[in-house]
């Protein structure tokens, strides 16, 4: 599951590269309408970029939580296995 979260985070990272293009949009002309439209596109691109960054951060945090939980589970499993073997039991 940890790998899936990291894969999803990587997809959000790739999308951020594309959103950068929107955030840097320039108007096709010098007239007011062109610059006004470009400004709106830049604002949308920045908002999209912020959202994608927060989604990537969330996915990376979830991957770390899964990694931590997996490590704790493995430790508990080892301890329990050792205890069972010490009592003469089998798994």
- What sign has the CA pseudo-torsion 23, 51, 37, 35? negative
What would the pLDDT profile of 45-54 be if each residue is shown by its tens digit? 999 999 999 9
Nearest residue to 41 (alpha-carbon basis) of 54, 26, 56, 58: 26
Q: How many domains does the chain have?
A: 1
Query: Is the residue at 30 inside a domain?
Result: yes
Crossing angle of helices 32-86 and 2-23, in 10° steps, is 170
Query: Is the residue at 72 inside a domain?
Result: no
Query: Is the residue at 43 inside a domain?
Result: yes
Domain carrying residue 6: 2-62
Query: Is the residue at 23 inside a domain?
Result: yes
Query: Is the residue at 76 inside a domain?
Result: no
User: pTM of whole model > 0.85?
Assistant: no
Query: Is the residue at 57 inside a domain?
Result: yes
pLDDT above 70 as % of the chain? 79
Residue 85 or residue 74, greater confidence: 85
Query: Is the residue at 27 inside a domain?
Result: yes
């Amino acid at each position: 599951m940890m790998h899936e979260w990291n894969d999803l985070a990587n997809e959000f990272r790739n999308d951020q590269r594309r959103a950068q293009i929107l955030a840097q949009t320039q108007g096709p002309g010098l007239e007011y309408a062109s610059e006004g439209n470009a400004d709106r596109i830049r604002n949308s691109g920045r908002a999209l970029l912020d959202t994608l960054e927060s989604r990537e951060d969330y996915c990376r945090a979830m991957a770390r939580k899964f990694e931590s939980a997996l490590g704790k589970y493995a430790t508990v499993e080892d301890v329990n296995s050792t205890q069972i073997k010490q009592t003469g039991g089998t798994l």
